Chains A and B, each alone.
Chain A
Amino acid sequence: MKFVCVLVLIILLLHNQHVNAQNFIIKGKVTNFEEGAPIPGVSVVVKGSGVGTITNTAGNYQIEIPQNSKSLVFSFLGMKTQEINISSTTINVSLKTDFVGIDEVVALGYAEKGKNDITGSSFQIKGSKVADIPVTSVDQALQGKVPGLVISAPSGTPGTMQDIRIRGVGSITASNNPLFVVDGVPVINDNFTGESVRSSFSALSALNSNDIESITVLKDASATSAYGARGSNGVIVIATKKGSPGKTKFSASSSVGFQNNATEGYQVLNGMQREELMLESVHNTFGVPVDEAYNFIIEKNLTNRLKTWVETYNRKEGNWNELLKNKNALVQNYDISASGGDAVSSYFISLGYNNTEATLVGGGFQRISGKFNFQHDFSQKVKFSVNMMVSNTRQDAFLEQSLYFGGQNATRYFMSPWEQPYLTDGVTLNTAATSSFYNTLYTLENDVYKNDLTRGILNSFIEWKIISNLVFKTVYANDYNVASFHNYQNRVHGDGKAEGGTAIQSVTRNYNWVSQNSLNYIFNTGNHSLALKALMEYQVNNYNFLQGSGEKFPADGLYYLSAASSNLDANAGFNDWKNRSYLGMLNYNFSRKYIADFTIRCEGSSLFAPENRFGNFWSAGAAWNISEENFLQELNFIDNLRLRASYGLSGSSAIGINQYQALLGYDKSYASEGAVYPRQIGNPDLTWEKNNNLNAGIDYAFFDGRLKGSFAWYNKKTYDLLQRVPVSRTIGHESIMMNLGGMLNKGFEAVVQGELVRSSDFKFSIGFNMATVNNEVTALAKDAAGNDINIEDRLRKVAVGHPVYGWYMRKWAGVNTENGNAQWYLNGKDGEVTENYYAAGKEWQGESAIPKITAGLLTHVDFKGFFADINLYYAGGHKVYEDFSFLTHHTGFYSFSFYNGVDELMDRWQKPGDITTVPKVWYGTRDDARESTRFLFEGDYVRVKDLVFGTKLPVKWSGKIGCEIITLSVRGTNLFTLVKDNGLKFDPEVGADGLTRMTTPPVKSLVFGVNLIF
Chain B
Amino acid sequence: MKVIYIYISVVFVLLFTACTDSDLEPTLTNEKDVATNIKNLEDLHGIANGMHDRFTVYTYYGRNMQIYGEVRSDNCFANGNSGRFVPEAQMTVNPDNSNGPWEAMYAVIASANVIIQQDLNNISGDMLKLKQIAGQAYIARAMAHFDLLRLYGQQHAGGTLGIPYIKNYIIRDLSPVRGTIEENRKAIFDDIETGLSLMTEENNPKTKQIISTFTGFALKARLALYFKEWEKANAAAQTIVSSGKFEIVEAAGFVNSWKTKNSTNSIFELAASGTDNLGINGLQYIYRGPSYGDIEVLDDLKSVFDENDVRNNPAMIGFETIAGKQRLRNLGKYPSSDFSDNIALMRFEEMVLILAEAKVELGEPDALEVLNLIPAKRNATLYTEATKANVLLERRKELCFEGFRFDDLARTGNDIPLVDQYRQTHGGPKYGSYKYAFPIPTVEMNANSNMVQNDGYK
Residues of A near any B CB (own CB < 8 A): 1, 4-5, 8-9, 11-12, 15, 300-305, 308, 405, 434, 436, 467, 470, 498-499, 519, 521, 532, 534, 536, 566-569, 573-580, 582, 584, 602, 604-607, 610, 613-614, 657-658, 661-682, 725-734, 736, 783-785, 787, 789-794, 838, 893-894, 898, 924-925
Selected interface stretch from B27-35, B191-199, B227-235, B384-392 = B27-35
Selected interface stretch from B12-20, B182-190, B241-249, B371-379 = B12-20
Q: How far is the CA of A662 from the CA of B169 in the complex (A)?
A: 12
Q: Are A671's CB and B80's CB within 8 A?
A: no
Q: Are B441's CB and A566's CB within 8 A?
A: no
> Chain B's nearest CB lies how many Å from the CB of A464?
14
Write the B51-65 contact mask toward A (1 if CB under 8 angstroms, else 0): 111101000000000
B11, B20, B325, B425: the one contacting A534 at CB < 8 Å is B11
**B166 adjacent to chain A (CB < 8 Å):** yes
Cβ < 8 Å to A, chain B residues 278-315: 279-280, 285, 289-292
Q: Are A436's CB and B12's CB within 8 A?
A: no
> Chain A's nearest CB lies how many Å from the CB of B118?
12
Write the B148-168 contact mask toward A (1 if CB under 8 angstroms, else 0): 000000000000000010100
Given contacts A498-B291, A521-B8, A785-B450, contact A676 B46 (CB under 8 A): yes
Q: Are A434's CB and B7's CB within 8 A?
A: no
New A-B pairs, 11, CB < 8 Å, besides A4-B14, A728-B448, A729-B102: A498-B291, A578-B23, A582-B16, A663-B32, A675-B53, A676-B46, A676-B47, A677-B111, A679-B31, A728-B176, A894-B80
Write the B65-88 contact mask toward A (1 if CB under 8 angstroms, else 0): 000000000000000111100100
Q: Are A785's CB and B30's CB within 8 A?
A: no
Q: Using Cβ atoms and an 8 Å threshold, which residues of chain A touch B31?
A: 658, 661, 663-666, 679-680
Cβ < 8 Å to A, chain B residues 406-447: 422, 425, 441-444, 446-447
Q: How far is the CA of A467 from the CA of B114 in the complex (A)?
A: 65
Q: Using Cβ atoms and an 8 Å threshold, which residues of chain A touch B24?
A: 578-580, 604-606, 613
Q: How far is the CA of A604 from the CA of B26 in the complex (A)?
A: 12
Q: How far is the CA of A727 from the CA of B374 in the complex (A)?
A: 47
Q: Are B447's CB and A670's CB within 8 A?
A: no
Q: Are A304's CB and B43's CB within 8 A?
A: no
Q: Using Cβ atoms and an 8 Å threshold, which residues of chain B touch A673?
A: 45-46, 49
Q: Are A789's CB and B447's CB within 8 A?
A: yes
Q: Are A434's CB and B290's CB within 8 A?
A: yes
Report the nearest A residue to B456, measured CB to CB. A838
**B126 adjacent to chain A (CB < 8 Å):** no
Q: Using Cβ atoms and an 8 Å threshold, which residues of chain B touch A519?
A: 8, 11-12, 15
Q: How far is the CA of A313 from the CA of B370 in the complex (A)?
A: 58
Q: Are A602's CB and B34's CB within 8 A?
A: no
Q: Using Cβ atoms and an 8 Å threshold, which residues of chain B touch A607?
A: 26
Q: Using Cβ atoms and an 8 Å threshold, which residues of chain B touch A568?
A: 275
Q: Using Cβ atoms and an 8 Å threshold, which residues of chain A touch B398?
A: none
Q: Using Cβ atoms and an 8 Å threshold, which residues of chain B touch A499?
A: 279
Q: How far is the CA of A784 from the CA of B449 in the complex (A)?
A: 8
Report the nearest B residue to A535, measured CB to CB. B15
Q: Are B4's CB and A727's CB within 8 A?
A: no
Q: How far is the CA of A676 from the CA of B46 in the complex (A)?
A: 5
Q: Using Cβ atoms and an 8 Å threshold, which residues of chain B touch A725?
A: 447
**B21 adjacent to chain A (CB < 8 Å):** yes
Q: Using Cβ atoms and an 8 Å threshold, which residues of chain B touch A668?
A: 50, 53
Report the nearest B residue to A542, measured CB to CB. B27
**B223 adjacent to chain A (CB < 8 Å):** no
Smallest CB-CB A-B distances: 9 pairs: A732-B110, A434-B323, A677-B50, A676-B46, A671-B271, A675-B49, A670-B53, A726-B447, A728-B448
Q: Are A730's CB and B106's CB within 8 A?
A: yes
> Chain B's nearest CB lies how many Å from the CB of A337?
38
Q: Are B80's CB and A898's CB within 8 A?
A: yes
Q: How far is the CA of A11 from the CA of B3 in the complex (A)?
A: 11
Q: Using Cβ atoms and an 8 Å threshold, which residues of chain B touch A732?
A: 106-107, 109-111, 113, 166, 169
Q: How far is the CA of A894 from the CA of B80 in the complex (A)?
A: 8
**B119 adjacent to chain A (CB < 8 Å):** no
> Chain A's nearest CB lies how many Å from the CB of B37?
6
Q: Are B451's CB and A728's CB within 8 A?
A: yes
Q: Using Cβ atoms and an 8 Å threshold, which residues of chain A touch B18?
A: 1, 582
Q: Using Cβ atoms and an 8 Å threshold, which residues of chain B touch A728?
A: 164, 174-176, 444, 447-448, 451
Q: Are A791's CB and B174's CB within 8 A?
A: no
Give me 11 A-to-B residue pairs in the complex whose CB atoms sit less than 8 angstroms apart, sorted by A's number: A1-B21, A8-B7, A8-B14, A436-B82, A519-B15, A584-B16, A661-B31, A666-B32, A666-B46, A671-B209, A676-B43
Q: Are B103's CB and A734's CB within 8 A?
A: yes
Selected interface stretch from B92-100, B127-135, B212-220, B353-361 = B92-100
Q: Are A667's CB and B26's CB within 8 A?
A: no
Given contacts A498-B285, A575-B29, A677-B111, contact A604 B96 (CB under 8 A): no
B46, B86, B103, B280: the one contacting A925 at CB < 8 Å is B86
Q: Using Cβ atoms and an 8 Å threshold, which residues of chain B touch A726?
A: 443, 446-447
Total chain B interface residues with beta-carbon distance under 8 A: 101
**B274 adjacent to chain A (CB < 8 Å):** yes
**B338 adjacent to chain A (CB < 8 Å):** yes
Given contacts A303-B325, A498-B285, A898-B81, contact A666 B30 (CB under 8 A): yes
Q: How far is the CA of A787 from the CA of B451 in the complex (A)?
A: 13
Q: Are B338's CB and A566's CB within 8 A?
A: yes
Q: How far is the CA of A677 from the CA of B287 in the complex (A)?
A: 30
**B324 adjacent to chain A (CB < 8 Å):** yes
A305, A582, A663: the one contacting B33 at CB < 8 Å is A663
**B322 adjacent to chain A (CB < 8 Å):** yes
Q: Using Cβ atoms and an 8 Å threshold, which residues of chain A touch B446?
A: 726, 789-792
Report the nearest A residue to B440, measured CB to CB. A729
> Chain A's nearest CB lies how many Å from the CB of B19?
5
Given contacts A4-B14, A665-B30, A674-B46, contact A783 B8 (CB under 8 A): no
Q: Are B171's CB and A727's CB within 8 A?
A: yes
> Chain B's nearest CB lies how many Å from the CB of A332?
39
Q: Are B25's CB and A678's CB within 8 A?
A: no
Q: Are A5's CB and B27's CB within 8 A?
A: no
Cβ < 8 Å to A, chain B residues 311-360: 322-326, 337-338
Q: Using Cβ atoms and an 8 Å threshold, which residues of chain B touch A12?
A: 4, 7
Q: How far is the CA of A784 from the CA of B448 in the complex (A)?
A: 8
Given contacts A12-B7, A678-B169, contact A436 B275 (CB under 8 A): no
**B181 adjacent to chain A (CB < 8 Å):** no
Report the nearest B residue to A786, measured CB to CB. B449
Q: How far is the CA of A724 from the CA of B135 in the complex (A)?
A: 34
Q: Are A436's CB and B111's CB within 8 A?
A: no
A304, A436, A657, A676: the one contacting B290 at CB < 8 Å is A436
Q: Using Cβ atoms and an 8 Å threshold, which residues of chain B touch A793?
A: 96
**B207 adjacent to chain A (CB < 8 Å):** yes
> Chain B's nearest CB lies how many Å from the CB of A787?
5
> Chain A's nearest CB lies how many Å from the CB of B188?
15
Highest count of chain A CB atoms <10 Å: which of B8, B83, B209:
B8
**B380 adjacent to chain A (CB < 8 Å):** no
Q: Using Cβ atoms and an 8 Å threshold, which residues of chain B touch A614?
A: 19-20
Q: How far is the CA of A193 from the CA of B379 in the complex (A)?
A: 57
Report the nearest A residue to B421, measured CB to CB. A286
Q: Are A678's CB and B111's CB within 8 A?
A: yes
Report the nearest A residue to B42, measured CB to CB. A674
> Chain A's nearest CB lies how many Å from the CB of B416?
18
Q: Are B174's CB and A302's CB within 8 A?
A: no
Q: How far is the CA of A658 from the CA of B12 in the complex (A)?
A: 33
> Chain A's nearest CB lies how many Å from the CB of B58?
14
**B210 adjacent to chain A (CB < 8 Å):** yes
Q: How far is the CA of A659 from the CA of B114 in the complex (A)?
A: 20
**B276 adjacent to chain A (CB < 8 Å):** yes
Highest count of chain B CB atoms <10 Å: which of A499, A576, A793, A925:
A925
Q: Are A658's CB and B28's CB within 8 A?
A: yes
Q: Using Cβ atoms and an 8 Å threshold, which residues of chain B touch A898?
A: 80-81
